[in-house]
Structure 1
């Protein structure tokens, strides 16, 4: 069973949703049969590499609220994060462009280092790291076990840019207008940081629907069993 997750490293609900989904996955009896694929989505493709204001003022400018309201909003998100095991540090967030972080995540996944997605979320939201800075990304990549010279080469060029853009185009085709967006086996889609219980319910339902029929005959002995015709002949036992 394949689960595709569109998210952005600058999205707090993507981090929360990731944690909640992984909690559900741990409880899923067939978790070893699940292929989890993270896909790229930029909330603001035109975001600069650095900003001269903090995340609270960003919300003020975007939604026209007061700074006090913005802080209260982030405090509420912080409470949800703590319940999911995340220590959000909103005052330390360095607003930036996440495109290169997505390119790095693509390369890391190809190298079997999917854990870097967690590192990038944590770096942005709890460690105050600027994900648009190449040196920061290189350090995080090396910590994840990737080759420094190759990461430098990738970030300097445009490797994996087309893969990131392809994910974003696909997001539009599957109806992802916001993130996180979870697609379960191309049968069901869940938008937003749903509860772990909801994720588990959908995993269970999708698994049951995708399994082949179970034969419940009294006499199930394979070819030639009682009261059936096989290969053009019928036997009566």
Structure 2
């Protein structure tokens, strides 16, 4: 079975969803035979390529409710064993990090890509990692098992940029406007940071070649992160997800 996970490093619900999905995978009897591939998605492809304090960015978008949004996620993350330290989070354009994830996949395989994804999200949300800083990304990649010299050379150029942009465009053509979105066998989709039990049910049903229809959480446009998803507006202004 192949599961393609569309997510953005800067999406907190993608971090939660990753954790819950991995617990489901560990509980799934055929878990070791499941190939997990991370696909790129950018909630804000126009974000400037420079670090900005998360608190300031969110406050500019959502005003006074921004702190409450962060507090809710921090509490939820703690219950999941995840650290959200929003005082240290730096917002930056995520394209460079997505390129690095694609490099890890193409060069080292899905397991290495998954390790790197975890390191990036842990660093971004809990350790003040600047996902647009090449030196910081290199150190993170090395910690995930990638070769320092190879990563340094890769990040110095534009290799795989067009491929990553094409993948992001393809996701939008598929109707994916909210992340995380988990696509099973290219046919069935589960949207949002669902409970572990939902992901386990999806794995079991897809293993039986039965379509899964998990409840899709409500989401708001304008790259808000609420109720299990982070969303950007679709053409009609509402989030959408493909079910095959």
Task: Identify the residue that residue 99 of structure 1 maps to in structure 2.
Answer: 95
Task: Identify the residue that residue 78 of structure 1 maps to in structure 2.
Answer: 74
**What runs of 5+ residues in structure 2 fail to find an aligned partner?**
211-244
Question: 2:46 is paired with a residue of what secondary structure?
Answer: coil
- 1:51-200 superposed matches below 5 A: 51-52=51-52, 54-63=53-62, 65-66=63-64, 69-110=65-106, 111-112=108-109, 113-114=112-113, 115-200=115-200
Q: Which whole-Å deviations, capped at 9, do the CAs of 1:184-225 have from their partners, x for residues lacking one?
A: 112211111111111111111111126xxxxxxxxxxxxxxx
- Following superposition, the deviation at residue 89 of structure 1 comes to 0.6
Distance in 2, Cα, partners of 1:109 & 1:116? 10
Distance in 1, Cα, partners of 2:23 & 2:131? 26
Distance in 2, Cα, partners of 1:148 & 1:33? 29
- Following superposition, the deviation at residue 103 of structure 1 comes to 0.8
Task: Identify the residue that residue 41 of structure 1 maps to in structure 2.
Answer: 41
Question: 2:130 is paired with a residue of what secondary structure?
Answer: coil
Q: How many residues align?
A: 206
Higher Cα Rg, which structure = 1
- Following superposition, the deviation at residue 57 of structure 1 comes to 2.5
Please report the RMSD computed on the Cα atoms of aligned residues, expressed in angstroms: 1.4
TM-score, normalised by the number of residues in structure 1: 0.82
Distance in 1, Cα, partners of 2:200 & 2:4? 15
Question: 2:37 is paired with a residue of what secondary structure?
Answer: strand
Task: Identify the residue that residue 215 of structure 1 maps to in structure 2.
Answer: none
TM-score, normalised by the number of residues in structure 2: 0.80
**What runs of 5+ residues in structure 1 fail to find an aligned partner?**
211-237
- Following superposition, the deviation at residue 51 of structure 1 comes to 4.3
Runs (4+) of structure 1 exceeding 3 A deviation are none
